[in-house]
Structure 1
């Protein structure tokens, strides 16, 4: 059976017109070149070169031209595969990441920026979804805000605050009982919002939910407008301004846990492994 080195030798002889010059180009002995061409001729079932002898160059035969054409194609594809493997090892591959609103606005920009700086040729695809049931099919990594049965890494705890207008409450922690009957704007009852509402209900604390939306900025805008207060995790209010006041609660609400998930048994690409490390560092800085 022929090998790629046999095809490379065939191409060198065709280019140089001489077994000797092909040997010098490839770093082989002339007898080694002759042996490799003999292997190809045996496989092809005929002569690949006419050998006039003396100083005159060898010439490719019609059969040799067919083998050479396909041989060059195989060599090109082998080079492309080798280059692709090298780019993959260097991190210049594709990564698909699932995310959700809060992470998209805080952790993820830093991770993406540093990935792009380190691997300019990488292909990053992001998919944002607010869901109770993480679907990792087709994804390399997924940020999620609850414990699941998936493999992954806990990045940080994200504590909750009462978001209000300045002056609505005295400075300092607000007793949890103050939430009973309080008008609140809130996220829809999915993901960790369900945990928060169950926690309050178990203590017979029943706020009045006057507006629900997935958008963090919309919730903050409604607090500023005086429609109601909000219970929001820290990452969602990192960039709040002086038009809002943040209060701790006493006792505190259960913190939201932020995880980075991946499929069980999945071998990470170098790019995904780097993304995991960057997410770990970004989360540690935020913590």
Structure 2
């Protein structure tokens, strides 16, 4: 038996479900917002398309019922309508920012000190959003993924390279020196200058954008010759400093404030690192992405309060953003 399934419309299946639930064409029409004749026509068209009688019509005031073929089709109709209703809910949730996938780029210091606070609040507000984290110490690589559409947002450090990016600043992160607690460096003052670091073995980052290399950020290229070790792991850098291998020159966010055996010195006369969050200016962002940015601002503000408490009034500002 041939069946013209292409003529079947969703409203015909909805009419079948309503007629079954109400056992009446008139009550089904009232439920659906149609006239009784319209519902009768929809069922008739459905029967022609299926090639089976689907509804028993006893006439008068007696209740209508489904035929065996109607009952078979009913199960499929309910499943189809339920799936489409679910799809509509998913699309509404996507528009509302309560579902979907949010892909975030991050580097270690932000991943330890800021991201956990953001995720705590974000997942409470948007439990239906799947957050995928991509970690890389080189924010240049993360920005390349933003440009290719592989990431929706990425934590970054200013200045950004040329590209189709928009960004917002989150936090001014001062550069500090972490030394073994018995080191004579900065003892009695708690502050050093880049000149004080001359001829001292240094430890810092490895694979980062050239603009962010410590010798460049501190404005003393000669410091590169004093680097005895470079690593992209904060724990390794701080462990080496605690053992007296060298002085670790890093941003404050990279410091473990609870680690024993270390003393943290402020560096005066140096611009702070500007931590921000960036996205592709020409790509659609689900509303949850905007909420993530707002929560990142809140977490950064909390971290700045902790930083100021730990460093006194905070590291002296140079007055110039990089």
> Any conservation in 2 of the 1:182–1:207 contact (CA below 8 Å)?
no
Judged with a 3 Å threshold, the aligned counterparts in structure 2 of structure 1 residues 283 and 201 are, in CA distance, closer, same or farther, namely closer
Check if 1:77 corresponds to 2:80. Answer: no
Which of 37, 59, 71 is 1:31 aligned to?
Answer: 37
Q: Output one character per residue of 1:89-111: Cα deviation in whole Å (capped at 9) or x when no partner.
A: 26143322111101110110000
Judged with a 3 Å threshold, the aligned counterparts in structure 2 of structure 1 residues 210 and 286 are, in CA distance, closer, same or farther, namely same
| 2:131 paired residue number | 124
| 1:106 paired residue number | 113
Judged with a 3 Å threshold, the aligned counterparts in structure 2 of structure 1 residues 31 and 211 are, in CA distance, closer, same or farther, namely same
Query: Of the two structures, which has the highest relative contact order with CA contacts closer than 8 Å and spacing of 6 or more?
Result: 1
Q: Give me the whole-angstrom Cα distance separating, in 2, the residues matched to 1:16 and 1:189.
A: 69
Shift of 1:161: 1.0
Any unmatched runs of 5+ in structure 1?
Answer: none
The secondary structure found in structure 1 opposite 2:141 is coil
Relative to structure 2, which stretch is displaced further, 71-80 or 275-284? 71-80
| 1:188 paired residue number | 206
Residues 188-227 of structure 1: pairs in structure 2 closer than 5 A: 188-191=206-209, 194-198=212-216, 202=220, 204-205=222-223, 207-227=225-245
| 2:18 paired residue number | 12
The secondary structure found in structure 2 opposite 1:161 is strand
The secondary structure found in structure 2 opposite 1:248 is strand
| 2:59 paired residue number | 53
Relative to structure 2, which stretch is displaced further, 92-101 or 28-37? 28-37
> Any conservation in 2 of the 1:177–1:205 contact (CA below 8 Å)?
no
Shift of 1:258: 1.6
Q: Give me the whole-angstrom Cα distance separating, in 2, the residues matched to 1:212 and 1:74.
A: 59
Q: Give me the whole-angstrom Cα distance separating, in 1, the residues matched to 2:172 and 2:155.
A: 13
Q: CA RMSD in A?
A: 3.0
The secondary structure found in structure 1 opposite 2:253 is helix
Q: Give me the whole-angstrom Cα distance separating, in 1, the residues matched to 2:218 and 2:27.
A: 85
How many residue pairs end up in the alignment? 286
Check if 1:143 corresponds to 2:151. Answer: no
Which of 241, 261, 271 is 1:243 aligned to?
Answer: 261
Shift of 1:192: 6.0
- Give TM-score, length-normalised by structure 1: 0.84
Relative to structure 2, which stretch is displaced further, 272-281 or 41-50? 41-50
> Any conservation in 2 of the 1:96–1:125 contact (CA below 8 Å)?
yes
| 1:233 paired residue number | 251
| 2:141 paired residue number | 133
Q: Output one character per residue of 1:106-140: Cα deviation in whole Å (capped at 9) or x when no partner.
A: 11000000012222343222121122332223222
> Any conservation in 2 of the 1:183–1:207 contact (CA below 8 Å)?
no
